[in-house]
């Protein structure tokens, strides 16, 4: 009877160890995605673009790890730029 209990305990410990080993990669992915989380808000992205180009912000849309900002320039042109949500870099 003691041997059966011991075998059950060993099997339980091995199952837990196996489960922990199998879920470790998922925990790493979650930590990586948190490292690249947006640190700039949509409002900050709009303000940055407005300060750089002037004009009126028409639309701010979340896009991947940043924002797509459309702006109406004083000369009547509409431009669309991308603001990186982590670094704040403006492209486009």
**Domain harbouring 54, CATH code:** 3.10.450
Q: Are residues 5 and 23 in the same domain?
A: yes
- In tens, the pLDDT along 51-74 reads 999 999 999 999 999 999 999 999
The pLDDT of residue 39 is above 50: yes
- Above 70 in pLDDT, residue 36? no
pLDDT of residue 70: 97
User: What is the domain range of residue 81?
Assistant: 42-91
Domain tally, the chain: 2
Instruction: Tell whether the model's pLDDT for residue 4 goes beyond 90.
Output: no
For residues 6-36, b (16+ Cβ closer than 10 Å) or e, as one string?
A: eeeeeeeeeeeeeeeeeeeeeeeeeeeeeee
**What's the chain's average pLDDT?**
77
More confident residue, 31 or 76: 76
């Amino acid at each position: 009877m003691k041997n059966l209990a011991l075998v059950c305990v060993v099997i339980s410990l091995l199952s837990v160890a196996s489960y922990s080993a199998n879920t470790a990669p998922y925990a790493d992915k979650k930590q990586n995605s948190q490292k690249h989380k947006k640190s700039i808000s949509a409002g900050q992205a709009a303000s940055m673009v407005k300060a750089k180009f002037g004009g009126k912000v028409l639309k701010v849309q979340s896009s991947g790890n940043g924002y797509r900002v459309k702006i109406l320039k004083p000369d009547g042109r509409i431009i669309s730029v991308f603001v990186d949500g982590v670094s704040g870099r403006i492209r486009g």
